[in-house]
Amino acid sequence: MVNVRILNYDIIGPMIGPSDGVAETPRRFHNREMTNVTFIRDRWSLCSFSRLYLHKKNTDKQPYSKLPGVSLLKPLKGVDSNLLSNLETFFELDYPKYEILLCVQDDDDPAINVCKRLLGKYPNVDARLFVGGKKVGINPKINNLMPGYAVAKYDLVWICDSGIRVKQDTLTDMASQMTERVGLVHGLPYVADRQGFAATLEQVYFGTSHPRSYISANVTGFKCVTGMSCLMRKDVLDQAGGLIAFAQYIAEDYFMAKAIADRGWKFAMASQVALQNSGSCSVAQFQSRMIRWAKLRINMLPGTICEPIAECFVASLLIGWAAHHVFNWDIMVFFLCHCLAWFISDYIQLQGIQGGPLAFSKLDYAVAWFIRESMAIQIFLSALWDPTVRWRTGRYRLHCGGTAEEILDV
């Protein structure tokens, strides 16, 4: 069994690095002095990676006609203003051989009409609709996908959330990354340009704090994946028991990735981002989502308790205290300078992940960045308060290790 640490970013969110703590040594003065040097080096390395790797055209790709067949599994529940346009991008993919398996849980779900509309508009696309799902565990996403997974005819399965939109060559980019020893290809989560402050807040988070950990982990060899858009080898999943083996978990993609890694397969990150484009967006929804992720991290990964020290304001205070202790520097001056450096490097990283001009002003960025950083500790403390989560239409009590039980209303 391969000993790896895996983090799921659709559910899990940011990670703590390989060393959760370092014992004090006689070289403590040198170590503290090097903290800022390391910070600057690492932050600018991330900015460079974002600009050089993401959105880059893959020149060393497989011939178009030899690309492997892909079964797209699309879990759907409910309708928002962007669902039709998001789904339509999958019907317009430029890919030689793929099928679309649309999965809807309830017979009266309005998403069924959206699916039928697209099936009628694109009769030449190999697409089918499955309604009803199959109850195999507490995870509603797995239950919904079971009928589609059972009939998937290709060796690669692409599980992609309903709120994702793609470019015509997105699947080509992902499939080209699926080389001989790669068992899973994932995309860095990001957010499409939308109107409103809540959309800006989301975009700032997924362009700064989130990829800071996500990219670092992938560059340094940690297995960090997202469940928003994930291409996997079906035979490897079947060896692990198929989708049903992960129905007892809320964070099913974390355990699917772990199962693939445990069997010796490598992971690859697509050069295109997984572009979230939900039609519903508010600050309250964003906050609720972040709290849910934090709750899952706390119950699955004990090291999460150290997570607040990786946030800008807390880290700046701690490093400022160290600088004051070693060099007698003013703590508040150091704190402000450190936060400013963090703020600027985040903006440069955000531009690299965007791959083009941002849809909001620098002032909007500054306000959203400050609010996001200010919310971090409150979100973490809220997650500690209550071990239950609401996801989709259910309420669940989390247990250590990642399992959960559904709480039924009496």
pLDDT at 42: 56
User: Dihedral of the CA atoms 5, 6, 7, 9 (nearest 10)?
Assistant: 150
pLDDT at 157: 98
pLDDT at 320: 93
Please count the CA atoms within 13 angstroms of the CA of 96 that sit on its side-chain side.
Answer: 10
pLDDT at 395: 86
pLDDT at 390: 83
User: Dihedral of the CA atoms 206, 209, 211, 216 (nearest 10)?
Assistant: -170
Catalytic residue, from 106, 253, 330, 346: name it.
253
The distance from CA 347 to its chain's CA centroid, rounded to whole angstroms, is 20
253 is catalytic: yes
Query: Cα(348)–Cα(211) distance, rounded to whole angstroms?
Result: 12
Do the Cβ atoms of 368 and 209 come closer than 8 Å? no
**Joined tokens for residue 357:** 């001009």
Do the Cβ atoms of 136 and 142 come closer than 8 Å? yes
Task: Give the predicted TM-score (pTM) of the model.
Answer: 0.85
User: Dihedral of the CA atoms 119, 120, 126, 129 (nearest 10)?
Assistant: 30
What are the pLDDT tens digits along the chain (410 aa)?
333 333 433 334 434 333 333 333 333 333 434 444 445 445 555 555 555 567 666 655 667 778 999 999 999 999 999 999 999 999 999 999 999 999 999 999 999 999 999 999 999 999 999 999 999 999 999 999 999 999 999 999 999 999 999 999 999 999 999 999 999 999 999 999 999 999 999 999 999 999 988 888 777 777 778 789 999 999 999 999 999 999 999 889 889 999 999 999 999 999 999 999 998 889 999 999 999 989 988 888 777 888 888 899 999 999 999 999 999 999 999 999 999 999 999 999 999 999 889 999 999 999 999 999 999 999 999 998 888 888 777 788 888 888 888 887 65
Domains and CATH numbers, the chain: 29-52+285-402 (no CATH), 64-279 (3.90.550.10)
Residue 3 vs residues 251, 254, 262, 294: alpha-carbon distances, Å: 19, 15, 7, 24
**Joined tokens for residue 35:** 């903290």
